[in-house]
């Protein structure tokens, strides 16, 4: 049986036999880069199609059904359309920042890919402070949005950027606190070790009520952090037309669009890693036969399955709820989520110190 | 209040007005100079209490213009139509937008469509026509637009 | 104007909302002055789609001008046509057959529901929830299908003519309407689940865009906008036309005067319209669907005014006749125009996001305002 | 109690959200509720309501005869000058001159489908057709001549 880890080891051993260690390193980095970009492109296609399908079915519509079998190639056609469109830079815009912003958004999304464990023993960078790295890098996302909003020389863009700045900075807090609660329980910042700590059961299903609360807060906070409805104030189209990317067109717009979906994927991957055991198969106590069947499913499928379940959750929210107002958004964070998550982490710390968890 | 009582009361307060017969609501003709004072009384006086101005428009009679105010009372549910005759050249009348706020927009519409100048109006600017509109006021009878012809 | 481009002297930003903007439901142009997110002033600039319908009608005959009014408030086109037909009938003193009256009222109420359905979906979409829009269209399409079958068109029907209606109802009409009532009743609880009961929605609406009863009257607000402030202004009750005085229905009043009250008025009005339809649908009397009228209609010299209650409020037709075949002057008193004038008063001091909620609950139809 | 009120608020808020989520999940999983109507490609089985107002056509029978006398009632009834009737004088077998239509010009681009011409027609010569695809590449193609070439007025129609 082959798996991602076996393939990567094969490539590594073949390269180190044929090349010097420096060249091996360089070639492996190039391969990793190409793999990440390919993954981005694939994710973009799949997630856009998935979003459109989910939206259509919730809205009692059919969704895309003209391009390719069952509309499967719709997002490919959209990409082609965006590629051939003219990328305009408005008059009076800060041209350098305006053109830089979408690339920053993509670079941040790429950086976030590094510590994620896609399958057992398959990771770009096994970082000992993975969780810290993820929280630190993900807050850089706001820079590209602020840059885009400021450089566009458009009032709607500017307002969208300012809203998004306030929003991301405040929701980082509760997202960070709910991530911390898992760190406290597992006692490690390394994503791999966190996954290993869930070998006998995922944190969400271990029966700790504070973890469930932390999970709910995490989902709400990351929805806000990725600017998804009901927290899509940065691009609230009925108020700000398209918010920070009002002036973007063609491929530059597509990069923002892609970065949004990649960010959704990454935060859901983090959520799956922390709360749902990453690539760990689903095990129930002493049901040996059942557990063996579960082990037979490849770990990468487990990981992507959990991640896509969380992505579906976030899409489901988007197509159900109305948008919040900016002051209500901050109220929700500072009056509800932050106090609750602080109280929650206190409980979890007590649990960890007293050894009540298992 | 019955129509007769209404007419009597108005005549008692404003002897100068005349009544017009033959339409569904009592119709009173007022001089432009009396109108604002009368409007205040119609709005404030507790036996009238015409608090709802539901239609304000103007008619171009080629020789003169007529302002038409349709009044309703949300308390007594009686109606009154007030007509004010204006000059064809440089028509002007006191605004009633301080009495009924809805008159603000309606008077701006009449201002640009008929060229009636509303004295003391807080914000008498073009509302519907584009900024910098030149030429006649569109709803006047002698308005001709050679580009977008209206007549068939 | 220079002022519209930049910012004011005291540092407030001037923002042009519209004419092409997703929230304005058409081509309304608002110039708003904002301080951060707080609105200082809202100034509507109208006329983007002004077609001067009043001037156009001056050269159309009394049969012809009715179709133009469908293009004003296109969501309650039946009711606009109805008002014009009533006004002409008032001038000619035509006795409309009872069957035609009942058909007209049925069509009016169906139109009212269709209009409120669209408003409900668009309202939720303004606030960022897309799904209700499509769910509302499910019911609205059912009404449109009924209209298509009987009137031959889905939006601008031109079904009301002086003296009655253009064609008799389709044989399937009663069956289809009953099917629609059943559909509506089975789905109406979903409105509550999806939107009305939603905590985010309620927080966005409650206490937003307050309009006191006195202000509502002074600004000439009518329809659900004024009824949300507790002002009784339903023309169907106060100045009944057709057979409305024989129908048992309730005028919906809410007293809070905020956006949520206006929302609730419209949602409850849909159920009232359903009850009116239920009372009439089995009792359409036999008889003519149109009174005998002359081929050429000539209104006597005089002035005629007819008020009706459209989905948006008090719609008035004012015809000044010189005795010819065409009106000398027509004035359409559109409810949206007066309702819009209250927007500045309501919006001052609230957030930019609230403006969307307020415009949504005013239920603006721009061709109605611009005429 | 402040805390109790706070918890109650959070609970009722979450509950209202869950109710909405349940409703959308229902539609997500029940595809039979889908109401999308596809573009009517099924021309053979497509049935339109018989009153649907697509465009004005003139009724011709198998003998290529119509019922239009050229009375211009429809032209007068039309609010947009959509219809223009050009008449000519036919010589009847008895040698008398008789007014008949030469061309019944119909401007589809001006038509608002108000049905007033059909109502005005005293001989039911024109009616509304149930067509719906009117787009053309050239605006001139929208100006149609409704009477077919060499068509005649039906006998007995006055």
Mutate to test the interface with B, among C320, C331, C368 (most CBs of B within 10 A): C331
The answer on A97 and A65 residing in a single domain is no
The answer on A92 and A62 residing in a single domain is no
Q: What per-residue confidence (pLDDT) applies to C4? A: 45
Identify whether C22 is part of a domain: no
> Residue A324 gets which letter from DSSP?
P
Residue A315 or A92, more confident: A315
Distance of residue D24 Cα from the nearest chain A Cα, in angstroms:
5
How far apart CA A167 and CA A329 sit, in angstroms, is: 8
Q: Reduce the DSSP state of residue C320 to 3 states and report it.
A: strand
D36 in reach of chain C (CB within 8 A): no
Percent of chain C with pLDDT over 90: 0
Over 70: is that where the pLDDT of A279 sits? yes
Over 70: is that where the pLDDT of B149 sits? no
pLDDT per position as a tens digit, C337-366: 888 888 888 888 888 888 888 888 888 888
pLDDT per position as a tens digit, D39-98: 888 877 888 888 888 888 888 888 888 888 878 888 888 888 888 888 877 777 676 777
> Which residue in chain D is spatially nearest to A337 when comparing CA positions?
D10
Identify whether C222 is part of a domain: yes
Distance of residue D158 Cα from the nearest chain C Cα, in angstroms:
18
How far apart CA B89 and CA B63 sit, in angstroms, is: 9
C1: pLDDT confidence band, cut at 50, 70 and 90?
very low
Please report where in the chains the tokens 């991301």 appear, as a residue: A168
Identify whether C326 is part of a domain: yes
Which residues in D lie closer than 8 A to residue C65 (C-beta atoms)? Answer: 79
The answer on A318 and A227 residing in a single domain is yes
Identify whether B79 is part of a domain: yes
The answer on A171 and A57 residing in a single domain is no
> Which CATH number covers residue C265?
1.10.645.10
Q: Which of C47, C54, C345 sits opposite B130 (nearest CB)?
A: C47
Q: For A285-289, A322-326, B141-145, C48-52, which range has the lowest pLDDT when averaged over its residues?
A: A285-289
Contact yes or no for A236 and C128 at CB 8 A: yes
Percent of chain A with pLDDT over 90: 0
Range of the domain at A298: 85-354
The answer on A55 and A109 residing in a single domain is no
Distance of residue C127 Cα from the nearest chain A Cα, in angstroms:
5
The answer on A165 and A32 residing in a single domain is no
Identify whether C25 is part of a domain: no
How many structural domains are present in chain A?
A: 2
pTM: predicted TM-score of the whole model, two decimal places: 0.86
Q: Which chains touch B (3 or more CB pairs under 8 A)?
A: C
Identify whether B19 is part of a domain: yes
The answer on D59 and D135 residing in a single domain is yes
Q: What is the mean pLDDT of residues C73-88?
A: 88
3-state per-residue secondary structure call for chain D: CHHHHHHHHHHHHHHHHHHHHHHHHHHHHCHHHCCCCCCCCCCCCCCCCCCCCCEEEECCCCCCEECCCCCCHHHHHCCCCCEEEEEEEEECCCCCEEEEEEEEEEEHHHCCCCCHHHHHCCCCCEEEECCCCCCCCCHHHHEEECCCCCCEECCCCC
Identify whether D25 is part of a domain: yes
Mutate to test the interface with D, among C60, C132, C152 (most CBs of D within 10 A): C152
Q: What per-residue confidence (pLDDT) applies to A297? A: 75
Identify whether C232 is part of a domain: yes
Contact yes or no for D24 and A61 at CB 8 A: no
Q: What is the mean pLDDT of residues A91-118?
A: 84
Mutate to test the interface with C, among D11, D53, D54 (most CBs of C within 10 A): D53
Strand partners, B52: B72
Whether B contacts C, i.e. 3 or more CB pairs less than 8 A apart, is yes
pLDDT per position as a tens digit, C176-206: 888 899 988 888 888 888 888 888 888 888 8
How many structural domains are present in chain B?
A: 1
The answer on A247 and A173 residing in a single domain is yes
Over 70: is that where the pLDDT of B91 sits? yes
Among A286-300, C89-103, D61-75, top mean pLDDT goes to C89-103
The residue from A84, A117, A132 where one domain ends is A84
Q: Which of A156, A321, A326 sits opposite C200 (nearest CB)?
A: A321
Q: What is the mean pLDDT of residues C23-45?
A: 84
Q: For A67-76, C112-121, C311-320, which range has the lowest pLDDT when averaged over its residues?
A: A67-76
Distance of residue B12 Cα from the nearest chain C Cα, in angstroms:
26
C6: pLDDT confidence band, cut at 50, 70 and 90?
low
CB C318 within 8 A of CB C304: yes
Mutate to test the interface with D, among A52, A56, A62 (most CBs of D within 10 A): A62
Distance of residue D44 Cα from the nearest chain A Cα, in angstroms:
21
Q: What per-residue confidence (pLDDT) applies to A226? A: 83
Q: What per-residue confidence (pLDDT) applies to D16? A: 86
How many structural domains are present in chain D?
A: 2
Range of the domain at D24: 2-31
A2: pLDDT confidence band, cut at 50, 70 and 90?
low
C7: pLDDT confidence band, cut at 50, 70 and 90?
low
Query: To the nearest whole number, what is the mean pLDDT of chain A?
Result: 82
Contact yes or no for C231 and B55 at CB 8 A: no
Identify whether D102 is part of a domain: yes
Over 50: is that where the pLDDT of C3 sits? no
How many contacts (CB atoms, under 8 Å) link A and D?
A: 36
Range of the domain at C106: 62-370
Identify whether B98 is part of a domain: yes
Distance of residue A237 Cα from the nearest chain C Cα, in angstroms:
7
Over 70: is that where the pLDDT of B152 sits? no
Contact yes or no for C128 and A60 at CB 8 A: no
pLDDT per position as a tens digit, D100-144: 778 888 888 888 888 888 888 888 888 888 888 888 898 888 888
Identify whether C20 is part of a domain: no
> Which CATH number covers residue B75?
3.30.460.80
How many structural domains are present in chain C?
A: 1
How far apart CA A222 and CA A307 sit, in angstroms, is: 13
């Amino acid at each position: 049986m082959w798996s991602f880890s076996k393939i990567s080891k094969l490539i590594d051993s073949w390269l180190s036999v044929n090349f010097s260690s420096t060249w091996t390193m360089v070639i492996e980095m190039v391969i990793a880069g190409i793999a990440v970009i390919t993954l981005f492109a694939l994710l973009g296609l799949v997630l856009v199609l998935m979003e459109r399908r989910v939206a259509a079915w919730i809205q009692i519509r059919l969704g895309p059904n003209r391009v390719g079998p069952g509309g499967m190639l719709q997002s490919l056609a959209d990409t082609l359309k965006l590629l051939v469109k003219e990328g305009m830079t408005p008059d009076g815009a800060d041209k350098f920042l305006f053109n830089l912003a979408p690339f920053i958004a993509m670079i941040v999304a790429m950086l976030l890919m590094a510590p994620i464990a896609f399958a057992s023993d398959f990771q770009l960078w096994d970082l000992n402070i993975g969780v810290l790295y993820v929280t630190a890098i993900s807050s850089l996302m706001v820079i590209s949005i602020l840059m885009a909003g400021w450089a566009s020389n458009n009032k709607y863009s500017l307002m969208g950027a300012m809203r998004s700045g306030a929003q991301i900075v405040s929701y980082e807090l509760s997202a960070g606190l709910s991530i911390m609660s898992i760190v406290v329980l597992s006692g490690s910042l390394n994503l791999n070790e966190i996954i290993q700590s869930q070998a006998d059961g995922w944190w969400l299903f271990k029966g700790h009520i504070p973890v469930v609360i932390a999970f709910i807060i995490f989902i709400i906070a990351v929805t806000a952090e990725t600017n998804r409805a009901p927290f899509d104030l940065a691009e609230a189209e009925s108020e700000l037309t398209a918010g920070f990317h009002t002036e973007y067109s063609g491929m530059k717009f597509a990069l923002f669009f892609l970065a949004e979906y990649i960010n959704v994927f990454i935060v859901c991957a983090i959520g799956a890693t922390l709360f749902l055991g990453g690539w760990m198969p689903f095990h129930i106590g002493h049901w040996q036969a059942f557990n063996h069947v579960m082990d037979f499913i490849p770990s990468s499928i487990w990981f992507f399955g959990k991640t896509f379940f969380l992505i579906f959750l976030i899409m489901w929210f988007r197509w159900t709820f109305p948008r919040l107002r900016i002051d209500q958004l901050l109220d929700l964070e500072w009056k509800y989520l932050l106090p609750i998550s602080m109280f929650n982490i206190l409980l979890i710390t007590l649990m960890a110190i007293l050894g009540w968890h298992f | 209040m019955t129509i007769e009582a209404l007419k009597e009361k108005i005549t008692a307060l404003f002897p100068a007005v005349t009544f017009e017969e033959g339409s569904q609501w009592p119709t009173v003709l007022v001089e432009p100079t009396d109108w604002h004072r009368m409007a205040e009384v119609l709005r404030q006086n507790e036996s009238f209490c015409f608090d709802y101005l539901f239609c304000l428009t103007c008619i171009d009679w080629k020789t003169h213009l007529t302002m038409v105010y349709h009044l309703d009372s949300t308390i007594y549910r009686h109606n009154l139509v007030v007509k004010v005759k204006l000059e064809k050249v440089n028509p002007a009348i006191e605004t009633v937008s301080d009495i009924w706020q809805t008159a603000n927009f309606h008077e701006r519409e009449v201002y640009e469509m008929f060229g009636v100048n509303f004295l003391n109006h807080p914000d008498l600017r073009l509302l519907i026509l584009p900024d910098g509109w030149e030429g006649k006021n569109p709803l006047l009878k002698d308005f001709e637009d050679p580009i977008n012809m209206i007549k068939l | 104007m220079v002022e519209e481009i930049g910012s004011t002297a005291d540092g407030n930003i001037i923002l042009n909302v519209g004419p092409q903007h997703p929230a304005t439901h058409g081509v309304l142009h608002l110039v708003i002055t904002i301080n951060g997110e707080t609105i200082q002033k809202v100034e509507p600039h109208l006329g983007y789609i002004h077609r001067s319908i009043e001037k156009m009608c001056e050269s159309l005959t009394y049969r012809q001008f009715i179709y133009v009014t469908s293009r004003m408030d296109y969501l309650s086109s039946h009711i606009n046509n109805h008002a014009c037909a009533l006004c002409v009938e008032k001038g000619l003193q035509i006795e409309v057959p009872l069957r035609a009256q009942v058909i007209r009222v049925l069509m009016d109420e169906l139109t009212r529901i269709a209009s409120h359905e669209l408003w409900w979906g668009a309202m939720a979409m303004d606030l960022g929830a897309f799904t209700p829009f499509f769910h509302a269209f499910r019911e609205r399409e059912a009404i449109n299908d009924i209209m298509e079958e009987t009137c031959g068109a889905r939006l601008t029907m031109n079904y009301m003519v002086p003296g009655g209606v253009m064609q008799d109802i389709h044989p399937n009409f009663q069956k289809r309407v009953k099917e629609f009532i059943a559909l509506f009743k089975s789905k109406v609880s979903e409105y509550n689940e999806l939107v009305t009961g939603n905590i985010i929605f309620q927080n966005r609406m409650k206490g937003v865009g307050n309009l006191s009863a006195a202000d509502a009257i002074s600004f000439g607000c009518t329809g659900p906008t004024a009824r949300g402030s507790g002002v009784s202004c339903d023309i169907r009750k106060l100045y009944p036309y057709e057979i409305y005085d024989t129908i048992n229905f309730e005028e919906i009043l809410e007293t809070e005067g905020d956006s949520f009250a206006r929302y609730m008025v419209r949602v409850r009005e849909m159920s009232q319209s359903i009850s009116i339809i239920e009372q009439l649908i089995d009792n359409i009397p036999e008889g003519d669907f149109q009174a005998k009228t002359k081929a050429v209609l000539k209104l006597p010299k005089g002035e005629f005014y007819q008020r009706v209650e459209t989905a948006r409020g008090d719609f008035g037709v004012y015809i000044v006749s010189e005795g010819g075949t065409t009106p000398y002057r027509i004035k359409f008193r559109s409810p949206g125009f007066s309702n819009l004038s209250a927007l500045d008063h309501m919006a001052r001091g609230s957030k930019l996001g609230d403006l969307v909620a307020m415009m949504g609950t005013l239920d603006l139809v721009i061709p109605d305002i611009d005429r | 109690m402040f805390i109790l009120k706070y918890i109650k608020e959070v609970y009722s808020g979450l509950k209202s959200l869950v109710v909405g989520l349940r409703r959308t999940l229902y539609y997500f999983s029940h595809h039979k509720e889908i109401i999308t109507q596809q573009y009517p490609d099924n021309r053979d089985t497509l049935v339109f309501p018989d009153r649907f107002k697509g465009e004005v056509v003139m009724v011709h029978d198998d003998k290529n005869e119509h019922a239009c006398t050229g009375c211009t009632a429809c032209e007068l009834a039309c609010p947009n000058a959509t219809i223009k009737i050009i008449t000519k004088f036919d010589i009847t077998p008895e040698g008398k001159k008789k007014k008949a239509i030469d061309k019944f010009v119909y401007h589809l681009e001006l038509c608002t489908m108000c049905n007033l011409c059909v109502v005005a027609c005293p001989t039911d010569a024109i009616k509304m057709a149930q067509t719906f695809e009117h787009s053309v590449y050239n605006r001139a193609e929208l100006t149609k001549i409704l009477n077919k070439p060499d068509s005649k007025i039906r006998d007995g129609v006055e």
